[in-house]
């Protein structure tokens, strides 16, 4: 997946076969995000999941914390 920095956020969109697969992906991401203490801004419409990451504690800018979560999200997405 190709993440893009735009408007002080790190953005990406993932497309899956169906809603169930998208939701399963989101569930896995939720556990990783909770473990990292870094929770994404995300949306889900049917088979698409969109992310907009930034670090609130750093003035809503992109930090290494965002890139760490993005890399973890990419690893989870590979399984789908």
Residue ranges for the chain with pLDDT beneath 70: 1
| Residue 1 pLDDT | 60
* Global confidence as pTM: 0.93
Q: What CATH number is given for 4-78 in this structure?
A: 3.30.1360.20
Distance between CA atoms of 56 and 73, rounded to whole angstroms?
A: 19
Distance between CA atoms of 77 and 58, rounded to whole angstroms?
A: 27
Domain boundaries, the chain: 4-78
- The answer to whether residues 40 and 69 touch, using CB atoms and an 8 Å cutoff, is yes
| Residue 40 pLDDT | 94
| Residue 57 pLDDT | 83
């Amino acid at each position: 997946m190709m993440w893009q920095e735009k408007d002080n956020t790190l953005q990406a969109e993932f497309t899956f076969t169906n809603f169930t697969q998208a939701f399963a992906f989101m569930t896995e991401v939720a556990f990783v995000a909770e473990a990292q203490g870094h929770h994404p801004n995300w949306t889900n419409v049917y088979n698409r999941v969109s992310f907009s990451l930034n670090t609130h504690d750093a003035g809503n800018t992109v930090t290494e914390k965002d890139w760490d979560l993005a890399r973890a999200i990419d690893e989870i997405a590979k399984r789908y």
